[in-house]
Amino acid sequence: MKNKLYTLSYFRKRLLSANISSRILIKTYVVEEDPRYWTLTLFPKTHNIFCTCYKQDTEFWFELWDGGNKLKNELTIRTKSMNVIIDNVYSLLTK
């Protein structure tokens, strides 16, 4: 699982290199049927954007939500590129 986008440690390392601070909220969801894999908060001291990784079989996707501050609904991102996620996070900050 090394260097996979859904791996929590790799994801956080890439966030840090993009100057995005994060804090782990839920490291592992324990209910097997739950597709949520882990949840972070991004920019925890200023913006509190929740980022949840979902994983089901070989598919994975991410959901960003700021508690309704700038986003009315959750933003779902299906990608294998960390740059797409980083771009979406920074575009959310400039809305």
Show me where the domains of the chain are located: 8-93
8 A C-beta contact, residue 88 and residue 74: no
CA distances from 27 to 30, 33, 72, 73, 77 (A): 10, 16, 26, 23, 20
Is pLDDT at 30 greater than 80 in this prediction?
yes
What's the pLDDT score for residue 13?
Answer: 96
Tell me the mean pLDDT in the region 44-71: 92
The number of beta carbons lying within 10 Å of the beta carbon of residue 56 is: 12
State yes or no: pLDDT of 28 exceeds 90: yes
Q: What is the pLDDT of residue 93?
A: 84
- The token pair that represents 27 in the structure block: 């490291």
Q: Provide the 3-class DSSP secondary structure of residue 9.
A: helix
Q: Give me the percent of the chain exceeding a pLDDT of 70.
A: 98
pLDDT of 17 reads 97
